[in-house]
């Protein structure tokens, strides 16, 4: 008898379960309210950590591109770092002020290095960038994240190809 009651309850509950499942599968992009859409979009914005991982790879590639004399590729890395930091200012407004300080101070000297294609000029700009990275990490309570002054490797497939 108990089995019959369970079966009847299950049969009666099925329509409600399928309606609830349909609501869970609702496409918020098409059917959601403006508030729901904004909440979902905000949740999908890259975190500071996501952006910093990419910046870290570009930091390595910047160093090795210059070391290998691939100045155009090195300049590209600086431009990409700058763009990523501008995105960070938008996606993480709490970091906007320290990011602005970095953008004002951390990327100086590279233009002269790329124009002259001189390793020593580049190295001074890179050392300045490193110092500004560390200052920014300290200000943002991430002093435990210490970048190498001379990255051991590049993350780039382009730079890791056999050199001619």
Cβ atoms of residues 87 and 51 within 8 Å: yes
Look at residue 5 and tell me whether its pLDDT is greater than 70: no
Output the pLDDT for position 153: 87
Alpha helix locations (H) across 2-109? 2-24, 28-31, 34-44, 48-67, 71-91, 96-105
Output the pLDDT for position 7: 54
Name residues whose C-beta falls within 8 Å of residue 44's C-beta, 6 or more positions apart in sequence.
none
Output the pLDDT for position 158: 81
Output the pLDDT for position 2: 62
Output the pLDDT for position 156: 87
81: nearest Cα among 132, 121, 119: 132
131: nearest Cα among 149, 156, 115, 151: 149
pTM: 0.78
Look at residue 10 and tell me whether its pLDDT is greater than 60: no
- At residue 96, the 3 state secondary structure works out as helix
pLDDT tens-digit profile of 20-48? 455 567 898 899 999 998 898 888 888 89
Q: pLDDT-based confidence at 117, cuts 50/70/90?
A: very high
Both tokens of 156, joined, read: 């780039």
Look at residue 89 and tell me whether its pLDDT is greater than 80: yes
More confident residue, 27 or 13: 27
d(CA 163, CA 143): 36
């Amino acid at each position: 008898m108990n089995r019959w009651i369970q079966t009847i309850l299950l049969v009666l509950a099925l329509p409600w379960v399928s309606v609830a499942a349909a609501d869970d599968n609702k496409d918020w992009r098409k059917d959601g309210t403006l508030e729901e859409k904004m909440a979902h979009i905000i949740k999908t914005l890259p975190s500071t950590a996501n952006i910093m991982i990419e910046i870290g790879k570009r930091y390595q590639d910047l160093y090795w591109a210059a070391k290998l004399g691939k100045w155009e590729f090195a300049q590209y890395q600086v431009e990409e770092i700058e763009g990523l930091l501008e995105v960070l200012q938008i996606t993480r407004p709490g970091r906007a002020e320290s990011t602005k300080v970095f953008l004002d101070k951390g990327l100086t000297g590279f233009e002269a290095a790329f124009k002259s294609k001189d390793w020593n000029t580049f190295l001074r700009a890179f050392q300045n960038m490193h110092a500004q990275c560390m200052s920014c990490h300290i200000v943002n309570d991430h002093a435990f994240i210490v970048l190498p002054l001379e990255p051991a490797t590049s993350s780039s497939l382009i730079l890791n190809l056999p050199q001619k």
